[in-house]
Amino acid sequence: MNRVIRNKILSVTALATLAVFTAQVSVSADRKSVVVPAVNSINGTVPGLTTLGAIPIPADNKQTDAKVELGKLLFFDPRLGGDATISCAGCHEPSLGWAWPDQISRGYPGTVHWRNSQSIINTAYYKKLFWAASVPSLEAQAPSAAKGGVAGNGEDDIMQSRLALIPEYRKRFAQVFGDEWPLINNAWRAIASFERTLNQFDTPLDKFIEGDKKALTKEQIRGKALFEGKANCIACHSGPMATDEKFYNIGVPYSLHWDEEGLAQITFRFENYAKGVTEEKYRTVKDDMGLYFRGKIDSDKGKFRTPSLRYTKYTAPYMHNGELYTLEDVVNFYNAGGVTDDGRTTDFTKTKTPLIKPLGLTDEEKKDLVAFLEAFSGPEIEIEKPKLPEYEPLFTRKELEDIVK
Amino acid sequence: MSGDGAISCSTCHKPENAFSHPDALSPGYTGNKHFRNSPSLINTAYKKIWMHDGRLGTNLNDVTRGMLTEDYLMNMDMRIMQERVKQDPLYVQMFKDAGYGEPSNGSVRKAIPEFLKTLTSRNAPFDTGKMSASAQNGMAIFKGKAGCVQCHNGPLLSDGKAHNTGVPENLDVFLDPLRHQAFIAYNMFMGNENYMKLKRDAGAHIHTHAADGSDMGTFMTPSLRELKYSAPYMHNGTMTTLMEVVDFYSQGGGQDSNKDERLQPLGLSYSEKKDLVAFLGALSGDLLTSDEYVWKGEFSGEYDAIKNWRDTRN
């Protein structure tokens, strides 16, 4: 059964949904990556592209059907945000690649974000989340997004209070976590469990690797050879997720939005201020320092974690600030050695990786490579948004009138 | 000045209502509603302790920060606020002219209190000595038979302390989940252990924490100035007119085991009550709605880009 059908069934009734998720969770437990030879690259010997193995499930947050179902509700619930207008899905919209199609993601009302929204699909397999890999788990990613000033801008106390006034959540948190009253940290755990069910295992490339040699077109097969050879993509985009999860500055230029939009400029300064850079850097830096913010090490400026290439057919635009609109633009960018068509590159040229060099690809080769990149995506993963449970007063009028002071 | 850019200080403190709000319970932030009545800001600079429960006892700078950042009030990350102010050329110029230099989180918290200091009673008959005969009778009752002066004394007509007068609960606080969520969040944040089961507003107990609960339901004596424009009354807006308030005290206040013992039935006649109301009215001065107090210029609601951004110091 493919994911689209699965998810359509999912939304019919809660019971059917549970059954489907049960099947999926148990199947994935047995899942093993197809063993493929390692590849010699300009970045040393790297794992070959292959299928995904078992979904990594943290020992302290086991999947259960009820938890996943609760997480699904919470993922779509805007009450987990400051002014109750933006849910996780607000920037990770299922019909838009579980991401957001602007170069820079929409942000909390009154703000704009400063990075591109990444897809939720297959994020279970990442060891760390966010563009600079700043959090170690999906459980840590969710609150960071829900609470960030230009994302959800929520605070724990009010979000937890809201959950307590929704009888359906009281019931479900009690069932799933044994909470007397819903605890906000358990909301993040449930959302993480839901996200771990959003995976794609049946891309054309997966089928090809599993032995269906017709799963890729001739163009794509030529593209794969380029990917693993002349174009050097495999140097970083390796293994089951097509990422080494390491950090590189590949030359992505600053966002033109920072140059041209007031709201974007506000957020740019806020992010640098909030992340604790020196005043001199706050005053003068005009590009996203990426990994630098974590350790404040100059050699980390402009580095970002290699993103997965899975599901990218649906997640344009590309790169941490969406500066490249299409997969063709991405291939052109690499072919030029990390320079955009309009001649722009990173402000942090000193930290740019030597792995990125002009490739000298022909037009034909570029086409083949783009065709192959599309093989990292299967059918679109759809979902029917759940009907959200409503607030209800916690006390009756009589209970309130009867109190003795 | 608010997280989602939807509300300002003046959303809950409206100049035409003596910088208070005409609803029983204040609007609060976009995703929720508030659980208390919005008090007048006129003369707030004279206070030493702020909020109905008296939880802020330092200075207006801290009060300003608290109101801007509290999640159920304005939910503003002040770092974003600073960068918004810096993006507006008019603010940049005004902060410079005011001697603050570059706009900052800190200078916003200085400038707003400076404005609040200008909001003071103007031409109240009580101050000008031009009270009507009825108001003068009312003042005598206020000081004498009614004993209001025991708590409502000094220039603000407040002793600056918390008392329990038995004001009934406003049940909307609990029956409207949008208000109740803010009430729960506030009690949780203030360390009130019983926050999920509370069916009453604990008042000053949230910071005085008396083990025997004798401080439950105590609220700061409010100033009686500018009441003419700041109805409804009490910490939860449950009384809509001054006559209702006078009736409440004339009957000896409400029902509460913690009620201040000084509240006893007063047996006021109708004409005595009318005189008291007249006196209370004489404590109100001019509305502060002129250009001096109200910004009547436009807010574009949008931010222009800083030109030559890449070559300009942030």
Question: Which parts of B174-261 are beta strand (E)?
Answer: 219-220
Taking CB atoms and an 8 Å limit, are A260 and B305 in contact across chains? yes
For tokens 């085991």, name the residue: B257
User: How many Cβ atoms from other residues are within 10 Å of residue B212's Cβ?
Assistant: 7
Interface test with B, best of A77, A79, A80, A83 (most B CBs within 10 A): A83
pTM for this model (two decimals):
0.93
Q: What is the residue-averaged pLDDT of chain A?
A: 93
pLDDT at B313 over 90: yes
The predicted structure's pLDDT at residue A29: 62
Q: A267 contacts in B (CB within 8 Å)?
A: 80, 83
Taking CB atoms and an 8 Å limit, are B4 and A269 in contact across chains? no
| Geometric angle at alpha carbon A131, from A125 and A132, rounded to 5° | 100
Q: B305 contacts in A (CB within 8 Å)?
A: 259-262, 264-265
List alpha helices for A165-217, DSSP H: 167-177, 184-195, 204-209
* Residue B8 DSSP code: -
How far apart (Å, rounded) are the C-alpha atoms in residues B75 and B11?
14
Shortest Cα–Cα distance, A282 to chain B (Å)? 7
Taking CB atoms and an 8 Å limit, are A403 and B200 in contact across chains? yes
For B6-33, give one letter per residue: b (16+ CB within 10 A) or e: bbebebbbbbebbbbbebbbbebbbbbb
Q: A150 contacts in B (CB within 8 Å)?
A: 80
Taking CB atoms and an 8 Å limit, are A266 and B4 in contact across chains? no
pLDDT per position as a tens digit, A170-191? 999 999 999 999 999 999 999 9
How far apart (Å, rounded) are the C-alpha atoms in residues A331 and A352?
18
Q: What 3-state DSSP class applies to B276?
A: helix
Taking CB atoms and an 8 Å limit, are B189 and A286 in contact across chains? no
Predicted confidence band of residue B298 (pLDDT cuts 50, 70, 90): confident
For A340-363, give one letter per residue: b (16+ CB within 10 A) or e: beeeebbbbeebbbeebeebebee
Taking CB atoms and an 8 Å limit, are B314 and A283 in contact across chains? yes
All domains in chain B, ordered by first residue: 9-121 (1.10.760.10), 128-281 (1.10.760.10)
Greater model confidence, A237 or B300: A237
pLDDT (tens place) for every residue of chain A, 405 residues total: 333 333 333 333 333 333 333 334 444 567 999 999 999 999 999 999 999 999 999 999 999 999 999 999 999 999 999 999 999 999 999 999 999 999 999 999 999 999 999 999 999 999 999 999 999 999 999 999 999 999 999 999 999 999 999 999 999 999 999 999 999 999 999 999 999 999 999 999 999 999 999 999 999 999 999 999 999 999 999 999 999 999 999 999 999 999 999 999 999 999 999 999 999 999 999 999 999 999 999 999 999 999 999 999 999 999 999 999 999 999 999 999 999 999 999 999 999 999 999 999 999 999 999 999 999 999 999 999 999 999 999 999 999 999 998
Residues A83 and B6 sit within 8 Å (Cβ to Cβ): yes
Residues B9 and B111 sit within 8 Å (Cβ to Cβ): no
Count of pairs with CB atoms under 8 A, one residue in A, one in B: 163
Shortest Cα–Cα distance, B190 to chain A (Å)? 11
The predicted structure's pLDDT at residue A28: 54
Q: What 3-state DSSP class applies to A211?
A: coil
The predicted structure's pLDDT at residue A1: 31
Domain with residues A204-374, CATH architecture? Orthogonal Bundle (1.10)
Amino acid at A332: N
pLDDT per position as a tens digit, B245-294? 999 999 999 999 999 999 999 999 999 999 999 999 999 999 999 999 99
Taking CB atoms and an 8 Å limit, are A83 and B83 in contact across chains? no
CB-CB: which of B71, B77, B216 is closest to A158?
B71
Q: A158 contacts in B (CB within 8 Å)?
A: 31-32, 71-72, 181-182, 185
* Residue A304 DSSP code: E
Taking CB atoms and an 8 Å limit, are A395 and B84 in contact across chains? no
Using the Cβ of A81 and the Cβ atoms of chain B, whether some distance falls under 8 Å is answered with yes
Interface test with A, best of B1, B4, B304 (most A CBs within 10 A): B4
CA-wise closest residue to B130 among B18, B285, B290, B16 = B285
Query: Domain extents for chain A?
Result: 63-195, 204-374
Taking CB atoms and an 8 Å limit, are A149 and B80 in contact across chains? yes
Taking CB atoms and an 8 Å limit, are B29 and A83 in contact across chains? yes
Burial of A396 (0-12, 13-18, 19+ CB in 10 A): exposed
Shortest Cα–Cα distance, A341 to chain B (Å)? 20
| Geometric angle at alpha carbon B263, from B262 and B267, rounded to 5° | 120
Q: Give domain A63-195's CATH superfamily.
A: Cytochrome c-like domain (1.10.760.10)
Q: Which residue of B has its CA nearest to A257?
A: B305
Taking CB atoms and an 8 Å limit, are B305 and A111 in contact across chains? no
The predicted structure's pLDDT at residue A25: 43
Shortest Cα–Cα distance, B92 to chain A (Å)? 14
Shortest Cα–Cα distance, A227 to chain B (Å)? 36
Taking CB atoms and an 8 Å limit, are A399 and B176 in contact across chains? no
The predicted structure's pLDDT at residue A48: 97
CB-CB: which of A153, A155, A181 is closest to B196?
A181
CB-CB: which of A79, A153, A262 is closest to B77?
A153
pLDDT per position as a tens digit, B84-103? 999 999 999 999 999 999 99
Using the Cβ of A275 and the Cβ atoms of chain B, whether some distance falls under 8 Å is answered with no
How far apart (Å, rounded) are the C-alpha atoms in residues A67 and A189?
8
Shortest Cα–Cα distance, B235 to chain A (Å)? 17
Q: State percent of chain A over pLDDT 90.
A: 92
Greater model confidence, B22 or B194: B22
Taking CB atoms and an 8 Å limit, are A154 and B71 in contact across chains? yes
Is 0.90 exceeded by the ipTM?
yes
Interface test with A, best of B34, B70, B104, B184 (most A CBs within 10 A): B184
Q: A394 contacts in B (CB within 8 Å)?
A: 174, 177, 180, 196
Shortest Cα–Cα distance, A348 to chain B (Å)? 14
Q: What 3-state DSSP class applies to B275?
A: helix
Q: What 3-state DSSP class applies to A18?
A: helix
Using the Cβ of A360 and the Cβ atoms of chain B, whether some distance falls under 8 Å is answered with no
How far apart (Å, rounded) are the C-alpha atoms in residues B87 and A263?
8
Q: Which residue of B has its CA nearest to A273?
A: B79
Q: Which residue of B has its CA nearest to A268?
A: B83
Question: Which parts of B221-275 are beta strand (E)?
Answer: none
Report residue B125 as tokens: 């008959």
Residues of A (201-260) whose Cβ lies below 8 Å from B: 254, 258-260
Question: Which residues touch B90 (CB under 8 Å, ≥6 apart)?
Answer: none
Question: Which residues touch A321 (CB under 8 Å, ≥6 apart)?
Answer: A103, A104, A114, A115, A116, A252, A254, A255, A257, A288
Rg (CA), chain B: 21
List alpha helices for B88-198, DSSP H: 89-97, 105-116, 125-128, 133-143, 172-175, 177-189
Q: Which residue of B has its CA nearest to A155?
A: B71
Residues A347 and A286 sit within 8 Å (Cβ to Cβ): yes
CB-CB: which of A81, A158, A393 is closest to B174?
A393
How far apart (Å, rounded) are the C-alpha atoms in residues A339 and A47?
27
The predicted structure's pLDDT at residue B297: 85
Residue A11 CA: distances (Å) to CA of A71, A193, A200: 14, 17, 18
Taking CB atoms and an 8 Å limit, are B182 and A265 in contact across chains? no
Q: Which residue of B has its CA nearest to A182?
A: B196
Residues of A (280-339) whose Cβ lies below 8 Å from B: 282-284, 286
CB-CB: which of A164, A265, A273 is closest to B306?
A265
Residues B147 and B252 sit within 8 Å (Cβ to Cβ): no
The predicted structure's pLDDT at residue A394: 98
Q: Which residue of B has its CA nearest to A85?
A: B31
